[in-house]
Amino acid sequence: MPTSNYQPERAIDEIADFLADPVRPADFPSHILRFRNDRAARTVGLDDLDDASWIDHFGRFTALPDAQPEPLALRYHGHQFRVYNPDLGDGRGFLFAQLREDRAAGGRLLDLGTKGSGLTPYSRTADGRLTLKGGVREILATEMLEALGVTTSRTFSLIETGEQLVRGDEPSPTRSAVLVRMSHGHIRIGSFQRLAQRGETAHLARLVDYCLAKLLDRTPGDNPALTLLECVVERAADLAASYMVAGFVHGVLNTDNIAITAESFDYGPWRFTPHWDPGFTAAYFDQTGLYAFARQAEAIHWNLAQLARSLQDLTEVDAMVEVLRRYPALYESRLIARFLWRLGLETPDAEAGRAFVVAAVEVLRGHPVLIDQFFFDWRRGEHEAPLYAGVAWDALRTARTALTARDGSTAHAYWGGEAPCSMHIDEVEAIWRAIAEADDWQPLADKIEAVRAMGTAHGPGPAPSESTSAS
């Protein structure tokens, strides 16, 4: 049974008439619980469910008590690699329930959404399913990003479902699964694009009001659409900065993959780049490098411009242009704050912080040093290691003297370890290989434990209000 923290909501009912379609979940042949995120479940009062009840709700999708009675597939359009596609929508997922997290965790409205839960009106030629490997990869991505301070959805549940799937990019047939993610809303830039493209201005205004009130906690003021854009630009600049400091490449930053809360979600061909390699890509089909490591900030900015275009019937274009022009400075400010945070540093001198980060990025670009190793070594004071010999590193050490370490920034035992925790593709493949070849789930469990320890060692990410100093 849910605990006293359990607070179901049905806020989506306010906009479901123009945003969603009721659907039925797939009837899977079997259900094997592979992962349940009790840490996340605790924040919404569901950690006391026994495994049988967990499978009933998150494998068979029996409605939670007092929550929405049936799943809803959301409607949206989007630019995919900058080509507009009106034939999108939740093709293998749906919104299952909305819950309020406990006040200690922030009190936000959260969605439980699915991936691989069956056919919907938007499945097109696909089968509505998820491979087990895809589910495992999403667990690893969300756990690592959360540990590195990125605002991300969390993998809530993964259940193997007993089907054999054929996929062109994996050895086939391959095992199937259904995943549940916990997100701070599933409304996307593409949700606004669909309404604008269809000329549904009244519905667009209602969606703006919903997002401000339910997801962004902003007073709409005299110009709700402009307030929305301001909020999303601020949050998206931080998201782009957090990807860079984490060394993360999402792979498919299409407008249907950018949440209006700027919470990162939906992990397909993601990778972590080992080195600060501007051209590193995650998706084999990204032939032009549109979403390469160093192009992600620009890609997100372009997506924000598409949101502004969708809102042009609700507010003044010139005012939105001014908001969009703030993005580069916001991005730089957040990049500095997050870079210093990961190093456990702070400074009262904004220019000193900026000078150090600019120098650090330049030296990392020019040297084959692992990103994780750099942050690990320099946070714990190992600036003089042979790896960091040379004139460029000498200059960085000099710039470092203007900064100070945060109190307790290396207190956790993690900083005394032999090596940093990382999530490179060879590690991901090794974890999957153990599952595929021997049904051995221990390497995955061990990795999650190590990643969470690293997250505890880093502490909470920098506050949104910070610019060039860490919390």
Neighbours of 383 (CB within 10 A): 13
The DSSP call for residue 255 is G
Q: Is the peptide bond before 121 cis (omega within 30 degrees of 0)?
A: no
The one catalytic residue in 256, 266, 372, 377 is 256
The DSSP call for residue 252 is -
In Å, how far are 31, 230, 312 from 236, measured between CA atoms? Answer: 37, 10, 19
Neighbours of 13 (CB within 10 A): 12
CB 96 within 8 A of CB 181: no
- Cα separation, 269 vs 104, whole angstroms: 34
In Å, how far are 355, 356, 386 from 72, measured between CA atoms? Answer: 49, 48, 56
- Verify whether residue 256 is a known catalytic residue: yes
In Å, how far are 273, 313, 335, 387 from 368, measured between CA atoms? Answer: 11, 49, 21, 10
Token pair, residue 148, equals 């590195």
In Å, how far are 329, 346, 361 from 354, measured between CA atoms? Answer: 12, 11, 11
Closest to 211 measured CA to CA, from 195, 193, 189, 182: 189
Residues 6+ away with beta carbon under 8 Å from 390: 367
Neighbours of 367 (CB within 10 A): 15
**DSSP β-bridge partners for residue 179:** 115, 158
For 354, phi and psi rounded to 5 degrees? -65, -45
For 226, phi and psi rounded to 5 degrees? -70, -40
- Cα separation, 158 vs 357, whole angstroms: 39
Token pair, residue 330, equals 């916001």
For residue 308, the one-letter residue type is A
Spell out where 290-437 has E strands.
345-346, 404-405
- Beta strand pairing status for 154-165 and 174-183? antiparallel
For residue 247, the one-letter residue type is G
Residues 6+ away with beta carbon under 8 Å from 198: none
Catalytic residue ranges: 256
